[in-house]
Amino acid sequence: MWNISKHWDLLVLAGAVILVVGGVIAFDRSGLSAKSDAEDVLNGKDSLYHPTERPIAAQIADAPQESPAWLDDEDNGPRERSRPVPAPYQKGVVQLGPGASLGGQLPFPEDDPWNQRIDHLEVDPLSDVIIAKIGCEKNLYGDFGSGSWNGAPIGIPYVVVDGQQERFHIKYTAYGDESDPGPYPIPRDAPIEGDPNIDGDRHVIVVDRDNWKLYELFRAFPIADGQLWRAESGAIFDLTGKQKRPVGWTSADAAGLPIFPGLVRYEEAVEQGEIRHALRFTVSNTRNAYVPPASHWASRQSDISLPPMGMRVRLRANFDITPYPPEVQVILTALKRYGMILADNGSDWFISGSPDPRWNDDNLRKLKELQGCDFEVVLMENIVEEEPCDCPEEKEALRRKFSKGAAKELVPTLSRDSFLK
């Protein structure tokens, strides 16, 4: 049996320890007894990282020390996912909200590459080669509409805000050294591409109508009810064209380009009946090279039959668009006049657009009747290559092998050693 009288000193010591610990908990001013910092922030309480006298974003921005653990966890709670119908188009009026009309105003000046007509430019010598490599008989696909896929609206959403929108800081997890730090004017309920699914690109796009700036995030997740955002990369674009991002940086797109100017939007295709800019598209395999206006590549492949980022293709001038529905004719006319710019790795011949409950999905499916061979590559100049290829003989051999008459067959994977065989 344990002798209490012999161990009275241990009892006194234990009692002293209990008193000290209890005092720390009772008078805790640092949040040590809080359940979690994330819970404190969500409940509006004080915590080590969220004193009441300062906003959470400012506190984190001023604290470069180790981030609190809750920053590594995105919100898992319910988010508002209603799909309101945007206000009708009014010429000259930039509306607010998800999918809002710009009133006919173009992102970037008229002389910006996105807004320049290319129907008069020469065809690139390797056009047939590259088209066949991507897939001459593969169908075009409009990756947008009024429907849903895997529980999420089809397309890349965006939201228009005013200059008073609250701004929040971004925690970058992958490409912070090539991202603009912000803060970003992102509404807490901003639409996220693919949400509620956690996979995919999860782009977030915000247009600030008063300051005429564009904010874009890649792989974005809201934290603490949107008081912070976690993303792999982010980019801020001056829509007046006066300020440029550094060449060589990525963006929310692999090509370093803005996403928003290349989207097919209901406002333009239906309400205005005219698209006055190039469109954005993806392919599954690209080359480690880019051509302006792109400024970044995302490939390790040096095969010169692969398309570089920023490559521009256009619908052939003799393609008959008259059998198609009116909004599809508008899209096809834009593809003849302005073409589409390769902006990211993805599915072959996928054109990007924004979701809108007013789209007629049956009409948009008509885009699938077009194939890769209905397009041609516009002359590419000033190509930036990771592995420069001064190889005119190889290019000529490829060009002859895949002339227009032979372009219907798919190109096998070629190494440089096999080009002249």
Mean pLDDT, the chain, as a whole number?
82
pLDDT tens digits along 300-334: 998 889 999 999 999 999 999 999 999 999 999 99
CB 170 within 8 A of CB 229: yes
pLDDT tens digits along 118-170: 999 999 999 999 999 999 999 999 999 999 998 999 999 999 999 999 999 99
Taking residues 61-83, report their average pLDDT: 47
Which residue would you say has higher pLDDT here, 39 or 49?
A: 39
Does the pLDDT at position 203 exceed 90? yes
Which residue would you say has higher pLDDT here, 19 or 360?
A: 360
Does the pLDDT at position 1 exceed 50? no
In the structure, what pLDDT confidence band is assigned to residue 397 with cuts at 50, 70 and 90? Answer: confident
Taking residues 226-240, report their average pLDDT: 96
